[in-house]
Every structure is written in C-alpha cells, then in structure tokens.
C-alpha cells in the first residue's frame, strides 16, 4: 500500500527539498507525483530539453528510499508553442479561443500539438527509462476536464467531417441515419456539415450532436493512447495511468475505452471543493470511488486526495477534525491501493494559491499533517491486508456513456438538468448517485460498472439500470439471459426506446424490455423540479423529475401514485414481473433518495441479499483480506452515534476483524 503526495519542487527552492522529503517520511509517505505541469521547464525552447531540475529531485528521492510517478506535462503548453502554432488552441462552443495563460487549451485535432506532444513525451520517456525511483507514469492531467473534451475549432471541424466520412462512407447513408429529411437538412457535400455549436433557438439534430460527442471522445482517447504507446516503447513494465476528476459523467469521453490502453485507473477525490457550504453526501463520494474501481474492475489509485480547503477564486466548507482522515479511509475501503494527497505544501503564487495542501503557505506542521499521519498509522495494517484482494459485491449498478451524453443535450425534464458551472451538465450523474445511494445507505457492497464491460453478470444477484434510454440490442439480450437464469433487474423509466442512431422505436415504452418488464407506457409527464406523492403499501414515496403511468401486461403493481393533484392518482408507478427464473422491477419515475432506500429495502429482501440500515450518515462495508475479513463502519455525521452498545464519535471509523482466513 502506497501513501504519497503531489509535489512541485519547481515551486520551491532546492534547499527546501530535503526538509520536505523528511517531513513526508515522518508522515508515513513514501512516494511523490511530479512534473505534470512542467512542459515549459523541460522544453524551454523548441527541441531544447533540460531535465536537470527533475534529475536533481529524483536523486534526492532515490537517496531517501522513496519513489515517484512522473506526469507527462501536456495539460498546458508553453507560450513559445502557442506563438509558433496558434492553431493548436481549442475554441469553445461560444466561439471563445482558449489562449495561453490557462490550462487544457489544446485541440486534440491539431497535428502540430500532437507532434509537439510526441517529441516531449519521447524525450522524457527515453531520459527516465530505467530510473530506479520511477514506479509509474501519469499521462497528461485530468484530460477532458473543464469542458476541454469539446472543441469547436476549425481543426475539429475538419477532423469531424473526416470522421463522419469514415463512419458513413457516403452522404446518402448519413442523411438517412440522421433523419435529415426532417426540416429538409439534406447534405450534398461533406463541406456543408457544420459543428453543432451555440445556437439562437432550436438545437441541432440530436443524432448529429451524439456523433459529435463520439468523435470528440475518440480524438481524446487516441491522444492519450499516443502517449501511452511512446512510454511503453521506452519504459518496459512500468504501469501507466491518467487521473480522472469529479463528477464521473461530467465529460463526454468514454473512460472505459480510454483505460483499455492504460494499466490502472486514477481518480482525483474531492468530497468538497470551492465555495460549497457542505461536502457531497457520503453515498455520492462512494459512488465516484466505485466508478473508478469499476472501470477496470480492480484496485485503483487516488492521484489527488483532498488534504486541505480547495478553490480557485472562492473557498467554502472547512472539514472538522477527523473528516479528512475519514475520507482517506473511505477511499481505501472502496478499493484504492495507492493514495497521493493533493498537495504537500500550498503554492504561494499562481492560479492555485487557494488550493490548500497538507501544509499551508509556510512550513509549520498543521493539524492536517498530524491527522493524516495518525490515520495512515491506524489503517496501514488493514490497507495492506486487503491490497490485491478483490472488492466483493452481490449488487451492481450499470452506467452507460451513450446515455450520459444523450441526457446532456436532451435532458428530458428540468429535473434532470443540473449545471453547477457552465461546462458541467451532470443531471445523469445525480440520478446515478441517487440510485447508488439506495443500496449504499442500506450498507450493501455495490459495484458501479460500465455497461459496455464484457464482465460476467452472473456473479450478481441484483443489477440496477437507470436511464438506459438509448439501448444496444446485444446488451438487452444479455440482460434477458441474466434475468431468465435467476437474476433480478431493476430498470428505470424511459428504458429501451431509442437506438444508437437516435431513432425512437415504434413499440411502446419500455421498447425491447417490454416482455421482460411485463408493462407498457403510453402516458407520461415531466414534472421538472416538482414532486408527486405515491405509496408502496403503507410506505409513502416521493416521485420526482418524470412520471410514467404504467399499464401492466403480466407485471404485478408494487407502488401507485397517490397525489390528489394528479389525474393519475391510483395508477401504477412501480411494477415487478417474473421472467424465467428471475424478476424485473420497473420504476416509472425518479424516486427521491429516502424513497429509493425504502424501495431497495424491499428489492434486497426479496432477492435474498442481507442489508442493514444504521442511519442515513452511517456507512458500512465488508472486505476480504489475506489474513482477516473485515467490517468497516464510518460515521459521516458531526454527531455522536450509537450502534447498539457501540459509541461512534463524529467522523469516526471502526475497522473490525470479523474472522481469520
């Protein structure tokens, strides 16, 4: 188990380095991440390389018996490169050019940028090949973040047209599959096709937007693979990753596809950031961690673990004592086997001087230093015992990048529109997190997996699939076999009604799932941010965002609308259908978090999956280790909680050995 820190020796004087490394070791840290923003230092002039600074710090790291992960420094480019090749800059949807002075400005469609990337990564890989302290490479930094996986530049337009020509072969095919007879937008030359940028009123064709998102995803994935292939050529058997960022479905990039060319997943874990007045709810944090674990279905790395108040322009919530240690523990419990804290010491200058680290702007050891040091000591034995042992679960929640993209440009309901910052459309994320919370709050180990995965689903007693509007036939057939053979499927509203070309099916909702679900839908309404009352037996439920009026064919009614303000009071809202040896639950609405927990309580009981509700702020996981099995309980509340005769302090965690292996 590695505990490390993100370190920026270039931001300090050389005389600070020895003291910094000694303090890291005192904390229990053994590794650092370096160089992910150092292109201008490594290549100060085109073709002229200087590795002296990083050679010097790596030598000190070697002498200290520590290790390093090197970042390729391509997340921002040096001014000389932009001056010579101004076309390498991205253009935003609104037509704003991402000029020098910020970060993530580069167009992945730019030949000049790719050539410059190839040069710097090659020189860096050749220079550090075989270095005894280098244990890994991080490609770029948070690729696609801040909307940088959507580029509307002239080069993107040129490559988009090439991509479309490769996919459709001829314009007749494109016009037909996009449905361009609608509004008479019939293209007769590839040069007529625009980018789906900003618009005055009605949006562009949804099939066109979906293809543009697919194209942009492939541009970024090929760029990351370009770097990975170079590193693999020169640095044999050194694992390669890149670091992802909250929220999981903020980008349009298919991260499952991206990581096929990489060795492990890394995640930047910020349970609170900027001017938030409180952290994200703990089920959302666990959902993001399980998303990271699930992309390759194995242990992952936290490349940036929250260690101090964070923000670029404004600051907010101050974690009380114990909470940053709890967040560290939560990450390890959910499957992380390497943790790098962001950052060691807070920068005194630059755009992130408000991103506080373990130390503040000076060198005085802080309460954060001692809290994290203490937490590392407490969890190290447990962390090393569960390392390399899979995180076991009987439940899995499935997500789909195609539907995440679809709900960005066609959110269906105002309740599914959530845009905290201009580049983040994360309504899909919130819905997925609410579904994840349904089992997390009941303390059931739950995987969070990409539906594209070829994983064997038979290991799960229960699969949940929300917002699977845009279906793929092979997935539906695979789910059909899963249910027929005894599995339980929980299916969300609007399922299976749109193919990958964005054409709506002619059969009623839920389309290809109709026989499995035993239900049809002909009437529905989007209720935006409103609420509709419902009942499941004696339990009151709250429906949100979207309401379908279900018409069972073979299904049995589980819950009905009960709101006297709605004409569909008394009509079915949730059903269950026996299919083969298994069952399909169909939710015709989005439940609020508490209702979701009540619903899953019923589903888990009928599926024979043990659960226990310990309070909305208590999270419990079960892990298998090499020596022991463990029950880990975490109190995410700022209040004392009693679990039977067990007293838990605010933000306390307890790791209990439940038996020996």
The residues pairing with 635 across neighbouring beta strands, listed in sequence order, are: 618
Backbone angles phi and psi of 560, in degrees to 5: -130, 155
Place of tokens 């349009």: 252
Are 287 and 330 in contact, with CB atoms under 8 Å apart?
no
**Is residue 141 marked as binding?**
yes
- 96/100 Cα distance (integer angstroms): 12
Place of tokens 């789909």: 400
- 412/410 Cα distance (integer angstroms): 6
**Residue (of 307, 351, 137) closest to 224 by Cα position:** 137
Handedness of CA 244, 248, 252, 254 (dihedral sign): positive
Q: Which two tokens stand for residue 600?
A: 């899953």
SS (HEC) of 571-591: CEEEEEEEECCEEEEEECEEE
Is residue 620 classed as helix, strand or coil in its secondary structure? strand
Is 304 annotated in the active site? Answer: yes
**Residue (of 520, 524, 594) closest to 561 by Cα position:** 524
β-strands 646-648, 641-643: how paired? antiparallel
Handedness of CA 136, 141, 144, 148 (dihedral sign): negative
Q: Which of 36, 43, 219, 304 is catalytic?
A: 304
Exposed / middle / buried, residue 511 (Cβ in 10 Å: 0-12, 13-18, 19+)? buried
Residue 370 per-residue DSSP state: H
**Is residue 405 marked as binding?**
no
Are 598 and 582 in contact, with CB atoms under 8 Å apart?
no
Q: Which of 142, 257, 394, 652 is catalytic?
A: 142
Active site residues: 142, 304
Binding residues for substrate: 103, 141
Binding residues: 103, 141
């Amino acid at each position: 188990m590695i505990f490390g820190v993100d370190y920026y020796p270039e931001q300090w004087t050389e005389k600070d380095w020895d003291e910094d490394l000694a303090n890291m070791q005192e904390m229990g840290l053994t590794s650092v991440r370096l160089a992910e923003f150092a292109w201008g230092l490594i290549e100060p002039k085109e073709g002229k390389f200087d590795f002296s600074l990083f050679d010097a710090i790596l030598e000190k790291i070697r002498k200290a018996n520590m290790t390093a992960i090197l970042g390729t420094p391509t997340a921002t480019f040096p001014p000389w490169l932009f001056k010579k090749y101004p076309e390498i800059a991205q253009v935003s949807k609104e037509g704003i050019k991402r000029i020098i002075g910020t970060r993530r400005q580069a167009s992945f469609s730019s030949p000049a940028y790719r050539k410059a990337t190839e040069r710097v990564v090659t020189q860096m890989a050749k220079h550090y090949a075989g270095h005894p302290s280098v244990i890994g490479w991080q490609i770029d930094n948070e690729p696609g973040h801040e909307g940088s996986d959507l580029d509307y530049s002239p080069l993107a337009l040129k490559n988009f047209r090439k991509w479309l020509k490769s996919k459709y072969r001829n314009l007749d095919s494109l016009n037909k599959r996009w449905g361009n007879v609608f509004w008479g937008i019939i293209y007769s030359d590839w040069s007529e096709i625009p980018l789906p940028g900003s618009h005055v009123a009605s949006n562009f064709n949804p099939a066109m937007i979906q293809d543009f998102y697919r194209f942009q995803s492939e541009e970024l994935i090929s760029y990351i693979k370009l770097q990975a292939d170079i590193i693999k050529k020169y640095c044999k058997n050194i694992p390669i990753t890149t670091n992802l960022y909250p929220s999981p479905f903020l980008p349009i990039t298919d991260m499952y596809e991206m990581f096929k060319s990489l060795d492990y997943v890394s995640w930047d874990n910020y349970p609170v950031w900027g001017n938030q007045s409180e952290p994200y709810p703990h089920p959302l944090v666990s959902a993001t961690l399980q998303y990271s674990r699930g992309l390759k279905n194995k242990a992952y790395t936290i490349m940036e673990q929250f260690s101090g108040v964070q923000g670029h322009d404004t600051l907010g919530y101050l974690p009380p004592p114990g909470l940053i240690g709890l967040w560290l523990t939560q990450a390890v419990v959910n499957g992380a086997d390497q943790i790098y804290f962001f950052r060691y010491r807070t920068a005194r200058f630059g755009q992130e001087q408000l991103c506080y680290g373990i130390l503040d702007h000076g060198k005085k050891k802080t309460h954060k230093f001692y809290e994290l040091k203490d937490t590392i000591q407490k969890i190290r034995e447990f962390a090393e015992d569960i390392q390399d042992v899979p995180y076991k679960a009987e439940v899995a929640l499935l997500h789909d990048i195609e539907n995440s993209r679809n709900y960005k440009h066609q959110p269906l309901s105002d309740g599914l529109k959530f845009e905290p910052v201009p580049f983040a459309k994360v309504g899909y994320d919130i819905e997925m997190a609410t579904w994840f919370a349904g089992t997390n709050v009941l303390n059931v180990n739950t995987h969070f997996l990409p539906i594209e995965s070829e994983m064997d689903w038979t290991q799960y007693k229960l699969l949940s699939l929300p917002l699977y509007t845009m279906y793929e036939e092979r997935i539906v057939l695979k789910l059909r076999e899963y249910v027929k053979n005894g599995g339980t499927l929980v299916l969300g509203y609007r399922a299976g009604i749109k193919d990958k070309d964005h054409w709506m099916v002619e059969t009623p909702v839920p389309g290809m799932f109709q026989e499995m679900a035993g239900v049809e839908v002909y009437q529905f309404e989007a209720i935006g941010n409103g609420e509709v009352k419902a009942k499941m037996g004696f339990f009151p439920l709250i429906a949100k965002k979207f309401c379908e009026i279900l018409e069972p064919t073979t299904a049995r009614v589980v819950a009905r609308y009960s709101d006297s303000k709605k004409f569909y009071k008394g009509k079915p809202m949730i059903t269950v259908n026996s299919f083969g040896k298994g069952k399909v639950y169909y939710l015709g609405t989005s439940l609020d978090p508490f209702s979701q927990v009540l619903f899953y309580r019923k589903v888990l009981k009928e599926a024979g999956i043990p659960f226990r509700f310990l309070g909305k702020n208590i999270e419990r996981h079960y892990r298998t280790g090499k020596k022991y099995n463990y029950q880990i309980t975490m109190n995410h509340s700022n209040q004392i909680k009693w679990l039977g005769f067990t007293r838990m302090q605010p933000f306390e965690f307890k790791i209990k050995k439940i038996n020996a292996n």
